[in-house]
């Protein structure tokens, strides 16, 4: 499967999830739907934390290992990313995001997608911090559909 095929498959799957999210938001309200959606970030953070533990054992977290864990995870969804690494940080510039495109395909507006990504990312970072308290993640959501998101991981 090519990277384009992977991206398109992810977009279609996430579009279905986005449609489901819209139905849930209508049924229980946006605030509750976003809270439920944040749980997705918790599972992603838990998987990342466990993958890091598996590779690091009892060693302290480092950016090289974080990159070795995150890059394949993001590639498996078809994200198009540019990486900048330093000994204390990893910056992922996401120019093509299957989540954004899938949510947009489901009819979710830019502001709501920003809320969805923000609550999911916060839950992910909080969960990873349970494994590695000295690892900090933050994301700057894209200003518009054509702009990239920038996710930064810093070792404190």
Among 87, 47, 80, smallest CA distance to 65 is for: 87
Using the predicted structure, report yes or no on whether residue 51 has a pLDDT greater than 90: yes
Q: What pLDDT is stored for residue 30 in this prediction?
A: 98
Q: What pLDDT is stored for residue 156 in this prediction?
A: 87
Would you kindly state where each structural domain of the chain is located, as residue ranges?
A: 3-155
The token pair at 54 is 């598996």
- Per-residue pLDDT, averaged over 45-67, amounts to 92
What integer best gives the mean pLDDT of the chain? 95
SS (H, E, C) 79-141: CEEEEEEECCEEEEEEEECHHHHHHHHCCCCHHHHHHHHHHHHHHHHHHHHHHCCCEEEEEEC
CATH number for the domain running over 3-155: 3.30.1380
Q: What pLDDT is stored for residue 102 in this prediction?
A: 98
CA angle 82, 83, 89 (to 5 degrees): 150
**This model's pTM is above 0.95:** no
């Amino acid at each position: 499967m090519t990277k384009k095929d992977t991206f398109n498959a992810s977009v279609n799957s996430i579009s279905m999830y986005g449609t489901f999210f819209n139905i849930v938001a209508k049924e229980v309200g946006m605030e509750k739907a976003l809270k439920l959606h944040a749980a997705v970030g918790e599972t992603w953070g838990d998987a990342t934390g466990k993958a890091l533990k598996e590779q690091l054992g009892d060693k302290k977290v480092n950016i090289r290992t974080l990159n070795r864990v995150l890059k394949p995870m993001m590639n498996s969804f078809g994200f198009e990313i540019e990486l900048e690494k330093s000994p204390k940080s990893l910056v992922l510039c996401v120019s093509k995001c299957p989540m954004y495109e899938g949510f947009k395909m489901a009819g979710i507006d830019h502001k709501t997608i920003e809320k969805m990504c923000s609550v999911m990312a916060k839950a992910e970072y909080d969960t990873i911090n349970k494994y590695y308290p000295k690892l900090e993640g933050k994301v700057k959501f894209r200003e518009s559909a054509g702009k990239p998101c920038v996710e930064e991981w810093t070792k404190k």
